[in-house]
Each structure stands twice: as structure tokens, then as C-alpha cells.
């Protein structure tokens, strides 16, 4: 048997989540009242459970001061509102990664700091594009098409890819791209510098700003006009260009902006 | 809002057992085997072993060469679950601060980042020190050169405090309700005020709607005060913090309220 002390330590360490999250009734009631106060009839219709069950759940939540009854209506207390807002965030966080399970589960996430990962719900509208055996460069081509119309690109650039660099140069010579910002590390910077064409067209180009940082880069992140795109590395350290996560909504762009700020 | 069934099951499975959470917390720090986890956690071998196999069977962890690795998605699940736990703790730890208080002025993004307030301290007045909250804020302001503040009411000392900051080459940015805008501005010494406004050192914004929030952001600390549900300001409690994250949280909130000024 695990000792009583160890059990108590464990309970303290993870206190506060079990009571709410493991009861379908309690969490559903909180979610039902989130945004709007409800009376018993409304709750019964929404949760499709008998009054007795619902009243029991309501009593439990009232006892821990998460909800209160005002006349015939049940509503969240201020504590209940804070907790439920954060529970919604948790559910949305899980939803966002669950939706692109294959993408998230096959990659090394160490390039995304915890505080940014905690806001991954902002990516709930993101979709990932994957290469298939019949189209090995589907992800890459989708990405290239995406960046081609942008007037401004900000890229965390963790790999030395000649084909991508060549494409960026092509875009810089075209009419659309006015500003290119690259964040990279010394190793990759030196490789770019060692290539005469890249040196001339990128390093000596007024439209291009390159920032070198010492951190190990484990993420390929692009911010462009109205989109963000992200590719990651496999757990074994290899770069994966076969899957790219793309989002065009403002929340995802906000997420990318927060992430870039850290680098 | 409905919870998707997959997520609901994952959530129940992980949140139900403190032992599983502890195992994930260890594996989140690095791969390990059963024996290693037993040693680090003091949980019995049989409990660790049976929960490890449940976690493996349900694809939360993977065994490679005798060691267990947390799957990336489980990592996100675990970290965000701990973030939720921390937010619950902040609600509970500062219960007296939140309970029966009006949170309308705190926007959703501020509440979703409640964990940024983790290292705060609740300051409450006591019968022998009834000015404790005010004096704490006063000290913060006088030791600071850059002040951002939302004042929902005028304390007789505020104009003087602002003058002192401005006289020491500091800058002050204020958001006040329309009802006290004139009073607040004109009580600041005319010369100092005009000079500061000209040099961009003093900015006062008038807030048209109700302003149910008290907030100061100084050089190295922040303080937050709330109104009670009955409509009166709670002068007896403030939440203060010197933590960078809390100050950033407060600054974001300030900027969001400022957007509503125009």
C-alpha cells in the first residue's frame, strides 16, 4: 500500500481538479450556466436528466460556492465564473490538439514554451495539411502557395532549405513581398552567408531583416498576411516537412505572435 | 457548450487518479522506468506498474527500450490540466478577494490568464491598520517613475502623489470615470499639470461607462482592486504582486480598458 502520507501529498499536489472534472453532472451544470443564468426547467431540458439528479448536483456546487440561487434562477458566483472560464479554456485546449491529433502526437513540442502551449486553444480553428504517398510534397506546396501572396513574412527559420530560400528570393524580386523577417541561429546563418547568391539576395537586401539567436530552434513558424503556419521536428530530431498546421483566423495569428515574441 | 466525448473520457481518466497524474508529472520531466518512478514518488511498485500499463494501453505513454515516454499530446493535456489546477488554486487562495465581487471589467483574456497572478499577495486591512491597502499602493507609487493606473474614485492624496511622480521626472497615464475626470485633473497643480501634458508625461483618459476596477502598474509591481456586488468599492482588499507575469497581465488589462475609452 502506498503510505497515507504519500497519498495525502498527492491529493494536495493535484487538489481542486478531481471534484469538478470527474463528475459529468457538476461540469455540465457549470457549462450550462456559463454565460446565462438558468432555472430548473431549462437545466432539465438541456441536460436531459431528472430533477432529483440535477438538484443534487446544484446543491453540491452551491456548497462549494460556485453557483448561487437567486429567486428561481441558478447562476455562477464570481468564483464559479472564474473557474468555469478556465475550465472552458481547458476543454478548448484539449479540443484544439485532439482535432489535429496526428500532427501534435508525432512531433517534438519543446520549441513551444509552456505558457504558449497553455493557450493552444487559440489554434482551435487550425487545420493540418499532410503529404501523401501519391503527393509527397503536398504540405510543402501548400505552404509555398500560402506565402506567395503575402506582403510581409515573419519566419522562425530552423532549417537550411535551399529550395525555400530560393523561393523567398523569387518572392522578394516580385511585386508582393515587401518585408521579410527571419529569426534563425548561427549555424544556419553561416550556411546562408557561405552561399554567394543567398548572401547577395538576402543578407544584403534592404527588405530583409535577419535576427540570429543562440537558442536551439525546434519550430518552423511563419506569420504572413492573414495566416500562420507551423511545422515541427520529429522526436528523433529530424525536421518533418510532411505536415504543416495552417490557420487563418485572428486567434491563431495572435498565438503565433505571442510565440514569436519569445524568440 | 458541449464537451466532445473523447475529451470527456480523457479528462475523466486522467483527472480521476492522482497516481496517474503523478506518473505523468514525472514522465513530463523525462523518460523513466517503473522502478525509477517508484523511487521518486514513494508510490508502491504495484500501483505504479498497474497505472503505467493503463496509461500505455490508452496511448498516453509509449515504451521504448525499457523506458516510458510521455506522448506529445499527453504532454499538452498534462500541462494544460496543471494550468487549470493553478487557476483553481488562485480562485481558492484569494477567495475573499473574488467572492461576491464584480468581475465585469476583467475581460475574458485576463481571466483565461488568471494563472499569471500566481505569485500575488492579498493585502487586507486590519482593525489596527485600516489604511493598509491605501498605504501599500501609496508606497508603490512613490517608489516608481512610470505609473499606469485606473482610479475609479479620487482619494484626497492622489493629486499630490501624481504631482510628486511628475516632479521627479516620471510619467503618469490615468484612466478615470467621466464623473471624476475634471476633479482629478484640476486638483493637480496647474503648472505641473500643464507642463507634464505638454511634454507627454501626463495622460488622463475619461471613461464614459461605469468603471468597476482599480488597477495600478508601477515600475516593479502592480495592484488590483475590485468592486463588491452591491456596487461599492472594496477598500479593504487589494491583490499585489512584484512578479513580471502579473505586471504584464495588469498592463494588458490596462491597455484593453484603454481601448474602450475611445
Domain count, chain B: 2
A237 touches chain B (CB under 8 A): no
Q: Could you tell me if A195 and A258 lie in one domain?
A: yes
Residue B192 and residue B69 in one domain:
no
Please give the grid coordinates belonging to residue B250: 495588469
Residues A195, A251 within the same domain: yes
In A113-241, alpha helices (H): 114-117, 138-147, 162-173, 186-194, 196-198
Residue B231 in any domain: the answer is: yes
Q: Distance between CA B182 and CA A262 in Å, rounded?
A: 41
Q: Which structural domain, as residue segments, surrounds residue B202?
A: 102-259
Residue-wise pLDDT tens digits, A55-83: 999 999 999 999 999 999 999 999 999 99
Q: Which residues of A touch B42 (CB under 8 A)?
A: 2-3, 6
Closest by CA to B80, choosing from A12, A169, A118, A235, is A118
Closest CB to A95 among B4, B12, B79: B4
Q: How far is A192 from chain B (nearest CA, A)?
A: 32
Say if residue B135 is in the same domain as residue B169.
yes
Q: CB–CB of A80/A32 below 8 Å?
A: no
Same domain for A149 and A26, yes or no, is no
Task: Give A146-194 pLDDT, tens digit per residue.
Answer: 999 999 999 999 999 999 999 999 999 998 999 999 999 999 999 999 9
Domain count, chain A: 2
> What is the predicted pLDDT for the residue at B3?
67
Residues A200 and A112 in one domain: yes
Matching residue, cell 513540442: A109
Within a domain: B97: no
The whole-number pLDDT of residue B4 equals: 74
Count of A–B CB contacts within 8 Å?
147
Say whether both B146 and B214 belong to one domain.
Answer: yes
Residue A132 lies in a domain: yes
How high is the mean pLDDT of chain A? Answer: 93
* CATH number of the domain where residue B61 is located: 1.10.10.10
A208 and A126 in one domain?
Answer: yes
Mean pLDDT per block of 10 residues along chain B (262 residues) reads: 77 92 96 96 95 96 95 96 95 95 94 95 94 94 95 93 95 95 93 95 94 96 96 96 96 96 79
Same-domain status, B116 and B198: yes
- Tell me, yes or no, whether B169 lies in a domain: yes
Option in A17, A27, A101 nearest B85 (CB): A17
Is the CB of residue A17 less than 8 Å from the CB of residue B85?
A: yes
Q: Given CB atoms, is A102 within the 8 Å cutoff of chain B?
A: no
Q: What is the ipTM of this complex?
A: 0.93
B76, B162: one domain: no
The reply to whether B89 falls in a domain is no
Within this chain, do residues A66 and A143 fall inside the same structural domain, yes or no?
Answer: no
Interval A1-45: pLDDT, tens: 678 888 888 888 888 788 888 888 899 999 999 989 999 999 999
pTM metric for this prediction: 0.93
- Residue A207 counted as domain residue: yes
A59-76: string of b/e by CB count within 10 Å (b at 16+)?
A: ebbeeebbbbeeeeebeb
Query: Can you give the pLDDT at residue A3?
Result: 82
Asked if residue B65 is part of any domain, the answer here is yes
Domain extent for A255: 101-262
Read out DSSP for B108-142?
Answer: HHHHHTGGGGTT-EEEE-BTTBTTHHHHHHHHHHH
Instruction: Clarify whether residues B134 and B225 are in a common domain.
Output: yes
Measuring CA to CA, which residue among A168, A14, A129, A263 is closest to residue B21? A14
Q: Do residue A206 and residue A133 come from a single domain?
A: yes
CB contact under 8 A, A78 and B7: no
Q: Give the nearest partner residue to B18 out of A14, A114, A118, using CB atoms.
A: A14
Amino acid at each position: 500500500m502506498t503510505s497515507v502520507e504519500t497519498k495525502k501529498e498527492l491529493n494536495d499536489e493535484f487538489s481542486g481538479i478531481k471534484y469538478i472534472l470527474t463528475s459529468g453532472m457538476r461540469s455540465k451544470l457549470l457549462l450550462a450556466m456559463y454565460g446565462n443564468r438558468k432555472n430548473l426547467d431549462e437545466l432539465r431540458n438541456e441536460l436531459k436528466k431528472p430533477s432529483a439528479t440535477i438538484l443534487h448536483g446544484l446543491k453540491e456546487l452551491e456548497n462549494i460556492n460556485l453557483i448561487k440561487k437567486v429567486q428561481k434562477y441558478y447562476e455562477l458566483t464570481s468564483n464559479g465564473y472564474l473557474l468555469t472560464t478556465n475550465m472552458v479554456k481547458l476543454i478548448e485546449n484539449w479540443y484544439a490538439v485532439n482535432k489535429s491529433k496526428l500532427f501534435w502526437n508525432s512531433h517534438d513540442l519543446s520549441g513551444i514554451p509552456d505558457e504558449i502551449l497553455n493557450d493552444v486553444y487559440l489554434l482551435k480553428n487550425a487545420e493540418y495539411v499532410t503529404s501523401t504517398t501519391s503527393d509527397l510534397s503536398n504540405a510543402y506546396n501548400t505552404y509555398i502557395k500560402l506565402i506567395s501572396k503575402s506582403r510581409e513574412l515573419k519566419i522562425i527559420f530552423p532549417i537550411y532549405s535551399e529550395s525555400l530560400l530560393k523561393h523567398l528570393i523569387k518572392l522578394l524580386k516580385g511585386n508582393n513581398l515587401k518585408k521579410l523577417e527571419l529569426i534563425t541561429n548561427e549555424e544556419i546563418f553561416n550556411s546562408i552567408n557561405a552561399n554567394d547568391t543567398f548572401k547577395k539576395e538576402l543578407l544584403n537586401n534592404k527588405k530583409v531583416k535577419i535576427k540570429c539567436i543562440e537558442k536551439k530552434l525546434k519550430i518552423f513558424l511563419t506569420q504572413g498576411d492573414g495566416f500562420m503556419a507551423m511545422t515541427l521536428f520529429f522526436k528523433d530530431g529530424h525536421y518533418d516537412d510532411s505536415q504543416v498546421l495552417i490557420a487563418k483566423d485572428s486567434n491563431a495569428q495572435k498565438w503565433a505572435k505571442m510565440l514569436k515574441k519569445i524568440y | 457548450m458541449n464537451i466532445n466525448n473523447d475529451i470527456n473520457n480523457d479528462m475523466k481518466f486522467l483527472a480521476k487518479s492522482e497516481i496517474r497524474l503523478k506518473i505523468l508529472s514525472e514522465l513530463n520531466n523525462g523518460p523513466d522506468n517503473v522502478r525509477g518512478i517508484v523511487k521518486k514518488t514513494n508510490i508502491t511498485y504495484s500501483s505504479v506498474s498497474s497505472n503505467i500499463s493503463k496509461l500505455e494501453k490508452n496511448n498516453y505513454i509509449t515504451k521504448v527500450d525499457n523506458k516510458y515516454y510521455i506522448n506529445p499530446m499527453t504532454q499538452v493535456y498534462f500541462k494544460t490540466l496543471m494550468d487549470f489546477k493553478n487557476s483553481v488554486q488562485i480562485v481558492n487562495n484569494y477567495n475573499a478577494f473574488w467572492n461576491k465581487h464584480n468581475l465585469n471589467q476583467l475581460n475574458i483574456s485576463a481571466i483565461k490568464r488568471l494563472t499569471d497572478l500566481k505569485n500575488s499577495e492579498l493585502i487586507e486591512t486590519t482593525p489596527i491598520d485600516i489604511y493598509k491597502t491605501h498605504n501599500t499602493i501609496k508606497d508603490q507609487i512613490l517608489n516608481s517613475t512610470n505609473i499606469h493606473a485606473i482610479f475609479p474614485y479620487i482619494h484626497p492624496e492622489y493629486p499630490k502623489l501624481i504631482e510628486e511622480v511628475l516632479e521627479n521626472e516620471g510619467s503618469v497615464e490615468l484612466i478615470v470615470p467621466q464623473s471624476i475626470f475634471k476633479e482629478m485633473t484640476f486638483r493637480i497643480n496647474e503648472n505641473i499639470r500643464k507642463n507634464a501634458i505638454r511634454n507627454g508625461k501626463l495622460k488622463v483618459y475619461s471613461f464614459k461607462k461605469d468603471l468597476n476596477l482599480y488597477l495600478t502598474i508601477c515600475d516593479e509591481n502592480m495592484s488590483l482592486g475590485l468592486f463588491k456586488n452591491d456596487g461599492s468599492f472594496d477598500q479593504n482588499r487589494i491583490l499585489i504582486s512584484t512578479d513580471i507575469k502579473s505586471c504584464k497581465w495588469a498592463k494588458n488589462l490596462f491597455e484593453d480598458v484603454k481601448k474602450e475609452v475611445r
